Amino acid sequence: MKPTHINASVNTHYLDKVMDVAEQMSVEVIVDILDVRGMKLVSKGTRVTRVLREKLIAHKLMRPFEASIRIADGVDSRVVAQVAERLADVSAPVSSLLRCVPAGGNSPLQVLQHMEFGNAMALMLTASDKAGGPSLEHAVLVSMLSICMAKTLHLNEQDQLAAGLAGLLHDIGELYVDPRFLTRGKRLQPHEWAHVVVHPRTGQMLIDQLESFPPSVGRAVAEHHERYDGTGYPRQVCGQQISGPGQAVAVAEMIAGLLLKDHALERAELALKIVPGEQAPELLAAVSGALRQCPHGVVAPELAAWRAGESVPGLYARIAAILNLGERLIDGPAAKSERTCKLLRATQERVRKIQRAFVSTGLDGYLQPMPFGAASDSLLLFEKDVASRELQWRLRDLARDLALQAESPDEKLVLASLINLLDNDEGIVEPQRRPPVPLHGMCPQTAADRRLMRA
């Protein structure tokens, strides 16, 4: 589906960010801004200030506002390359991934240095940077990792560049989202997620209409939250339906937030492998290869003391309760339509995958008394906490997906209890000495047993 054209009305959320930037840097009108009737609203050469805000909001424009302005000394390829070089210097995991890419052609850093983008994208990247937080650093890191992943997939140089550009611009659609839904640390309710889930398509629309990039760049931006097994968003496409650059950016975006933490590659490998099939096997192998080349440290005591919000027995009990509720809904009179039943069956299958991941990661071992010494093993605790948090996120993602797919009031009513249980990781009555249920003939083992087997 082709994105619609940029609305002739100015997006107020983006306009406010431009006004913030204009108070710190020079933002200039580069063509006369006309309304849809051809009446001049702002002359070429005018400096953008807050005085213009109400005039721009009150009219529909003949030409997109984004294409009518430019910033002096904003973010450009030189700034991007500088940030990338600093990240490679200070982060051992990033450096390790850069070393592991297949040889030949330009390196990821060289690809970044040759990127070019126009006035609209330069201003958007600058607006993200000036809004505070690590937005630009994150964008550059995703860009660099996207090129690494593209080279791992043996994409040609044009697609490597497309992946790098898409990684750099993957979140520009968030500039058009109400900031209330993007507050760092804010937990969105499943129904609120609809305000955020549109940002990949918004980004594609902006890139396709404001830049002269190949269509592969906008497409990869639209795909950066898709998953290889079809469980991503916004279109839930899967496998080779996702473009090569799109697969590269999706994995890069997923692991970028982990690579600046302690034990980054271990976190990234577990996050990518925790539910089999979510990502292309070649990309999992690239992260595993970098992990083998990166020196392992000892988990810090303060990390060992950290705990996920939901206990492992509580998570186990919640997964079981979700499956039981799903079966009752499928068999009950409330799920009248075939569409609702199809949604419920698809949800059940995804929850079963999460349940299998609970066992395969060794979390089931924490449902029994731990062997002597295992309860204080900092590396075991690290793996437990990362795995449990990842599975909690998968359940929350599923709650969001289900809330977005619910259409009619009746369907929303039927699914409400299941969505709430999927989203609630703040406490469920835990089973008392309840043994783990083996899946597909698997014998329960402790996390310590699995670590000895891997060794």
The Cα–Cα gap between 26 and 17 comes to 14
pLDDT, position 115: 92
pLDDT, position 370: 62
pLDDT(260) > 90: no
Question: Between vectors from CA 270 to CA 217 and to CA 104, what angle results, nearest 5°?
Answer: 45
The Cα–Cα gap between 229 and 217 comes to 22
pLDDT(353) > 60: yes
What would the mean pLDDT of 247-270 be, rounded to a whole number?
85
* pLDDT tens per residue across span 44-54: 999 999 999 99
380 compared with 427, residue with greater pLDDT = 380
pLDDT bracket for residue 34 (50, 70, 90) = very high
Bridge pairing between strands 33-34 and 40-42 = antiparallel
Question: Between vectors from CA 60 to CA 122 and to CA 31, what angle results, nearest 5°?
Answer: 45
pLDDT, position 5: 57
* pLDDT tens per residue across span 290-327: 766 665 544 444 443 344 457 899 999 999 999 999 99
Taken as a whole, the chain contains a residue count of 455
Local structure of residue 35 (DSSP, 8 states): B
pLDDT(409) > 80: yes
210 compared with 92, residue with greater pLDDT = 210
pLDDT, position 140: 96
* pLDDT tens per residue across span 119-158: 999 999 999 998 877 889 999 999 999 999 999 999 999 9
What would the mean pLDDT of 270-286 be, rounded to a whole number?
81
pLDDT, position 6: 62
pLDDT, position 9: 87
Q: Encoding tokens for residue 180?
A: 């209330």
The Cα–Cα gap between 179 and 172 comes to 13
Q: Which of 137, 128, 113, 230 is nearest to 177 (CA)?
A: 128
pLDDT, position 55: 92
CATH code of the domain occupying 77-293: 1.10.3210.10
What residues does each domain of the chain span?
12-71, 77-293, 302-454
pLDDT, position 298: 41
93 compared with 350, residue with greater pLDDT = 350
pLDDT(267) > 90: no
pLDDT, position 447: 42
The H-assigned helical ranges of 108-243 are 108-113, 119-130, 135-152, 157-169, 199-210, 215-222
Residue-averaged pLDDT of the chain = 84
Bridge pairing between strands 27-29 and 69-71 = antiparallel
Place of tokens 């960010």: 17
